[in-house]
Amino acid sequence: MLTPGKALKVSIYLSEGSTHHGASTYSSILDFLYFRGCSGATVLKGVAGFGADHRIHTSHSVEISDRLPLRIEFIETPEKVHELLGKLEEMVGTGMIEVQETTIAKPAQLSKPQKAPVPQHIKLEGKAQMMRIFIGESDRWHDQPLHEALIRAMRANDLAGATVYRGILGYGAHRRVHKEKPLSLSHDASIMISVIDTEQKLQQFLPIVDDMVEEGLVVLSEVDIIKYSPRASESVE
Amino acid sequence: MKEQFQARMLRIHFTEGDKWEGEPLYKAIITKCMELGIGGATVFRAIEGFGASARIYHARTLSISKNAPILVTVIDTEEQIQKLLPHLDRMIQGGLVASSIVEAIRYTPADRPPKT
């Protein structure tokens, strides 16, 4: 939580079209900052600019209009900035990151408590935990489907991987039967999300599940990891 | 509301074509679970698989025989699951039941306590 006084302002310069593991870099960074408990961040879109490649990108030229400059700004305590910086450097790819000292005159009002787990990208082997989350397909979190929000939160917290399954029939604590109807528009099937990672990382993620899941069941079990090999290009060091 | 307890999870594998007293076996199992007051159960249809009988099923095969692999996951306390097991013994002709002990966390909205 920000308090008046010294802080750091981070500006990240990148181009609009750049991607990180298949998703657009700026939205990945925004998700990362959001789910890592950053106090706030803004994405600004430039109308023209040039960078390391020394080519001018403007909104007039149609063919390169996806290369418009973007700037992501956020202000945080020095400790928090240093915690986030390593991962940001990896995510930003060819872009630039600038950190400057700043002074907070008046912090923004917080409307809810922050959660800030500290995930590490570690090699997965041997004993691990499997978390299964049972929810309904129509459950929502803020303005999006809960299962999609959970997956984004897991991704932003560096969990090793997650899969969403849709059930064809099921019921939960409220005896509300979830049924798949081929031509029905009411999407209220049972959803199971399965995620496997170390016990430590799943325990760190649980407070976020606490926050996001209003109704549902979470089960944890021990598993042995036989093989986990991210593609070479995606592995970290 | 959040409650944490030790539970048992059953994963029951069979195929979509399996029947019990004229209706699909997965429906019969869900109905039985509800009758016994078991906390929850979910049926999943897989897109590919094979079982003890070694037949391979693909979702892409244009077959009208609905024989996709089915997985039913049932989670409740040990005591409740023990009540279900004898029924499964009767109902499942060919299939597999895997059982494991799990740590469960149940979330219920404060304004709607679960029915028992």
According to the model, what pLDDT value does residue A127 have? 85
Q: Which chain A residue lies closest to B2 (C-alpha atoms)?
A: A210
Provide the shortest C-alpha distance from residue A161 to chain B (in Å): 19
Residue B19 sits at the chain A interface (C-beta within 8 Å): no
Crossing angle for the helix pair B25-35 and B78-91, to the nearest 10 degrees:
140
Is the backbone of residue A93 left (phi > 0), alpha (psi -120 to 50) or beta?
left
List pLDDT tens digits, range A201-222: 999 999 999 999 998 999 999 9
Q: Is A165 in Cβ contact with B43 (below 8 Å)?
A: no
Q: Is residue B58 over pLDDT 90?
A: no
According to the model, what pLDDT value does residue A138 have? 87
- The CA distances from residue B110 to A52, A111, A211, B75, B106, in Å, are 55, 21, 14, 22, 12
Tokens 């592995």 belong to which residue?
A: A235
Share of chain B above pLDDT 90, in %: 59
Burial of A33 (C-beta count, 10 Å sphere; 0-12/13-18/19+): buried
Q: Is B9 in Cβ contact with A217 (below 8 Å)?
A: no
Nearest to A214 among B100, B101, B107 (CB): B107
Q: Which of A58, A57, A183, A201 is nearest to A129 (CA)?
A: A201
Residues A185-192, mean pLDDT to the nearest whole number: 74
Residues A7-20, mean pLDDT to the nearest whole number: 90
Distance CA(A23)–CA(A25), nearest Å, equals 6
* Helix or strand holding residue B14 (H, E): strand B2-15
Distance CA(A8)–CA(A101), nearest Å, equals 5
According to the model, what pLDDT value does residue A119 have? 44
According to the model, what pLDDT value does residue A187 have? 61
Residues A140-160, mean pLDDT to the nearest whole number: 90
On whether ipTM exceeds 0.90, the answer is no
Nearest to A169 among B7, B30, B101 (CB): B30
Residue B49 sits at the chain A interface (C-beta within 8 Å): no
Best mutation target, A208, A219, A220, to test chain B (most B CBs within 10 A)? A219
Q: Is A170 in Cβ contact with B42 (below 8 Å)?
A: yes
- Sequence-distant (6+) residues with CB within 8 A of A100 are A8, A9, A11
Tokens at A87, concatenated: 């991962």
Tokens 């950053």 belong to which residue?
A: A38
Distance CA(A12)–CA(A223), nearest Å, equals 39
According to the model, what pLDDT value does residue A124 have? 67
Domains (range + CATH), chain A: 5-104 (3.30.70.120), 126-234 (3.30.70.120)
The structural architecture, per CATH, of the domain B17-107 is 2-Layer Sandwich (3.30)
B98, B48 in Cβ contact below 8 A?
Answer: no
Residues B17-46, mean pLDDT to the nearest whole number: 92
Q: Is A174 in Cβ contact with B30 (below 8 Å)?
A: no
Q: Is residue A69 over pLDDT 90?
A: no
According to the model, what pLDDT value does residue B103 have? 94
Q: Is B44 in Cβ contact with A171 (below 8 Å)?
A: no
Which residue stretches of chain B are H helix? 25-35, 78-91
According to the model, what pLDDT value does residue A219 have? 94
Tokens 């400057």 belong to which residue?
A: A100
Nearest to A173 among B30, B100, B108 (CB): B108
Pick the more confident residue, A9 or A185. A9
Distance CA(A101)–CA(B1), nearest Å, equals 43
Residue B100 sits at the chain A interface (C-beta within 8 Å): yes
Pick the more confident residue, B67 or A7. A7
Q: Which chain A residue lies closest to B47 (C-alpha atoms)?
A: A165
pTM, two decimals, is 0.65
Q: Is residue A10 over pLDDT 80?
A: yes
Q: Is residue A237 over pLDDT 60?
A: no
Q: What sign does the dihedral B51-B55-B61-B65 (CA atoms) show?
A: negative
Write down the domain spans for chain B.
17-107
Pick the more confident residue, A179 or A186. A179
According to the model, what pLDDT value does residue B100 have? 92
According to the model, what pLDDT value does residue A233 have? 43
Pick the more confident residue, A118 or A150. A150
Q: Is A172 in Cβ contact with B39 (below 8 Å)?
A: yes
Q: CA angle at residue B71 from B70 to B72, to 5 degrees?
A: 120
